[in-house]
């Protein structure tokens, strides 16, 4: 095998690396056909890569063998303090022909990131390539988050007896506001330990009162013994701030939120609510339904795969310094 040459990523690498990215996406779609076909086009992939390159403070590395590009890694920081002194390699920021070269690329790119004080590293990796995921694990990364998809098709399962699900009405706003706090509360606890802020009930009530009639969102509630025990929200994936670039399938609905009060968890309410959102997506004409979860969220990481979601991208994380 010829020697691997590594150097910082520059604008001169964009075109060749755009082709590598389109090739990666083609392989990804062979395993996960619900992903968008658009990014198999090298020009479309190049536009995504160029956008990643033009993100403020983006930097990375590229690898060549015998003058031919064999991989790149390109990251940029997110301004939110939620992620710490961070660098993110998003879905368009990585493609390799040989998974092992990922480790050389990271070694070059991460030297600069750490010099800049960016010690919290995040990378969004396509799931189809087990060796690629393993290469990142052998760089000290662990799995933090999962993106997933399923076809918009009516699930065979019905609502469990005693757990009717219906569209929310304004009278449900107090329960919806309380349920909105349940997700960040749950995420703040072990073993997720998310740094996300838990808002106040007053803020949640004010938001629900102002936004309740927004036609872009379909809100459902599950009831048990006549009381609301959980809620879920469906919308178009375009409304999500995540699932960007190659991780954004076309014509996709989004299971954007779900929570069940702690006393009612594990009794089928989450399944019934998720099913209602999938049903809504079918009726609304979407081709697929997307969701995502923290993999350390024991409840969500069991409930959503059980409902038929399969992983498309994993977000891996490494914190340098300890
Ligand atoms: C995630 C959540 C909405 C799921 O709702 P739920 O009512 O607890 O879930 P369900 O009882 O419907 O269980 C759904 C599936 O999860 C699986 N599951 C639930 N508990 C499980 C366990 N302890 N072990 C393995 N699988 C389990 C089951 O397969 C179940 O499917 P089944 O109906 O075929 O048995 C709920 O637990 C919750 O509010 N969690 C906190 C907030 C949150 O995490 N929201 C989602 C953010 S992405």
Ligand 1 binding pocket includes 260 (Cβ within 6 Å): yes
Same domain, 161 and 304: yes
Assess whether 194 and 293 both reside in one domain.
Answer: yes
| Phi then psi dihedrals of residue 6, to 5 deg | -120, 140
Do 37 and 175 fall into the same domain?
Answer: no
> For 173-187, what is the mean pLDDT?
97
Same domain, 169 and 298: yes
**d(CA 296, ligand 1 centre) in Å:** 13
Is 318 inside any structural domain?
A: no
Q: Is residue 272, in this structure, part of any structural domain at all? A: yes
- Tell me, yes or no, whether 179 and 265 share the same domain: yes
Question: Is residue 146 domain-resident?
Answer: no
Q: Does ligand 1 come within 6 angstroms of the Cβ of 106?
A: no
Q: Whose CA is nearest to atom 4 of ligand 1?
A: 270
C-beta of residue 222 within 8 angstroms of C-beta of residue 231:
yes
Taking 70 as the threshold, does the pLDDT of residue 185 lie above it? Answer: yes
Q: Final residue of a domain: which of 140, 171, 202?
A: 140
Same-domain status, 124 and 214 = no
- Using an 8 Å Cβ cutoff, are 143 and 316 in contact? yes
- Using CB atoms within 10 A of its CB, is residue 237 exposed (0-12), middle (13-18) or buried (19+)? buried
Helix (H) / strand (E) containing 159: none
Q: Are strands 288-294 and 252-260 parallel, antiparallel or unpaired?
A: parallel
Q: State if residue 305 touches ligand 1 by the CB under 6 angstroms criterion.
A: no
Percent of the chain with pLDDT over 70: 98
The answer for residues whose C-beta is within 8 angstroms of residue 243's C-beta and 6 or more apart is: 147, 237, 252, 254, 290, 292
Q: Which of 288, 273, 200 is nearest to 237 (CA)?
A: 288
Q: How many CB atoms lie within 10 A of CB 216?
A: 10
Is residue 171 domain-shared with residue 300, that is, in the same domain? yes
Q: φ, ψ for residue 53 (rounded to 5)?
A: -65, -35
- State the pLDDT at residue 156: 62
pLDDT band at 17 (very low <50, low <70, confident <90, very high): very high
pLDDT recorded at residue 197: 86
Atom of ligand 1 nearest to the CA of 183: 42
Query: Please, what is the end-to-end C-alpha distance for the chain in angstroms?
Result: 36
Domain's final residue, options 108, 140, 172: 140
Q: Parallel, antiparallel, or unpaired: how do β-strands 120-126 and 86-89 relate?
A: parallel
**pLDDT tens string 66-88:** 999 999 999 999 999 999 999 99
Q: Dihedral through CA 19, CA 22, CA 27, CA 29, nearest 10? A: -170
Calpha distance 278→287 (Å, rounded): 11
Neighbours of 169 (CB within 10 A): 10
Instruction: For residue 202, tell me if it sits in a domain.
Output: yes
Helix (H, G, I), strand (E, B), or coil: what is residue 44? helix
Query: Do both 37 and 110 map to the same domain?
Result: yes
Strand-pairing partners, residue 232, are 220, 258
pLDDT of 158 strictly over 90 = no
| Same domain? 22 vs 156 | no
The ligand 1 atom nearest the CA atom of 264: 7
Cα distance between residue 209 and residue 202, in whole Å: 11
CATH number assigned to the domain comprising residue 227: 3.40.630.30
Q: Which of 103, 119, 140 marks a domain boundary?
A: 140
Q: Is 297 in the pocket of ligand 1 (CB under 6 A)?
A: yes
Whether 161 has a pLDDT exceeding 80, the answer reads no
Q: Is 256 in the pocket of ligand 1 (CB under 6 A)?
A: no
Determine the Cα–Cα distance for residues 301 and 293; give it in Å rounded to an integer: 6
Pair 68, 164 in one domain: no
Closest CA to 20 of 64, 70, 61: 70
pLDDT band at 159 (very low <50, low <70, confident <90, very high): low
Asked if residue 319 is part of any domain, the answer here is: no
CA dist., res. 41 & res. 23, Å (int): 9
> Of all protein residues, whose CA lies closest to atom 1 belonging to ligand 1?
300
- Rounded to 5°, the CA angle 313-47-152 comes to 40
Residue 206 domain flag? yes
Q: Does position 157 have pLDDT exceeding 90, yes or no?
A: no
Q: If 0-12 CB within 10 Å is exposed, 13-18 middle and 19+ buried, where does residue 212 land? A: middle
The DSSP letter of residue 243 is S
For residues 181 and 199, what is the distance between their CA atoms, to the nearest angstrom?
Answer: 7
Q: How far is the CA of 219 from the centre of ligand 1 (A)?
A: 19
Decide: 293 in ligand 1 pocket, CB within 6 A: yes
**Model confidence at 233, in pLDDT bands (50, 70, 90)?**
very high
Task: Provide the domain count of the chain.
Answer: 2
Domain that holds residue 270: 151-312
10 falls within a domain: yes
Q: Ligand 1 centre from 271 Cα, in Å?
A: 7
Does residue 269's CB lie within 6 angstroms of at least one atom of ligand 1? yes
Output the CA–CA distances (angstroms, integers) from residue 155 to 17, 140, 158, 221, 271, in the order listed: 40, 39, 8, 18, 11
With a 6 Å cutoff on the Cβ, whether 268 touches ligand 1 is: yes
- Ligand 1 contact, 223 CB (< 6 A): no
104 lines ligand 1 (CB under 6 A): no
Considering the domain architecture, whether residues 159 and 297 belong to the same structural domain is answered as: yes
Answer yes or no: is 321 within a domain. Answer: no
State mean pLDDT over 42-50: 98
């Amino acid at each position: 095998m010829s020697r691997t040459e590594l150097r910082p990523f520059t604008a001169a690498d964009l075109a060749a690396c755009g082709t590598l990215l389109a090739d990666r996406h083609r392989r990804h779609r062979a395993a996960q056909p619900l992903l968008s076909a658009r990014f198999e086009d090298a020009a479309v992939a190049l536009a995504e890569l160029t956008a990643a390159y033009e993100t403020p403070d983006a930097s990375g590395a590229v690898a060549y063998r015998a003058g031919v590009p064999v991989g790149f890694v390109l990251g940029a920081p997110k301004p939110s303090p939620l992620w710490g002194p961070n660098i993110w390699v998003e879905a368009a920021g990585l493609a390799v022909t040989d998974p092992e070269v990922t480790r050389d690329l990271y070694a070059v790119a991460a030297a600069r990131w750490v010099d800049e004080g960016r010690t919290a590293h995040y990378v969004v990796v396509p799931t189809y390539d087990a060796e690629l995921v393993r290469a990142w694990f052998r760089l000290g990364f662990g799995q933090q988050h999962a993106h997933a998809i399923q076809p918009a098709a009516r699930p065979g399962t019905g609502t469990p007896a005693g757990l009717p699900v219906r569209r929310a009405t304004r009278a449900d706003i107090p329960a919806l506001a309380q349920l909105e706090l349940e997700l960040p509360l749950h995420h703040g606890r072990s073993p997720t330990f998310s740094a996300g802020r838990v808002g106040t009930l007053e803020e949640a009530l004010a938001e629900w009162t102002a936004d309740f009639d927004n036609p872009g969102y379909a809100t459902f509630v599950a009831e048990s013994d006549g009381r609301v025990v959980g809620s879920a929200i469906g919308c178009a994936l375009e409304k999500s701030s995540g699932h960007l670039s190659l991780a954004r399938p076309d014509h996709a609905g989004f299971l954007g939120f779900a929570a069940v009060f702690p006393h009612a968890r594990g009794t089928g309410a989450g399944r019934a609510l998720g099913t209602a959102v999938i049903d809504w997506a079918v009726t609304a004409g979407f081709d697929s339904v997307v969701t995502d979860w923290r993999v350390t969220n024991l409840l969500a990481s069991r409930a959503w795969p059980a409902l038929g979601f399969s992983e498309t991208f994993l977000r891996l994380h490494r914190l340098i310094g300890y």
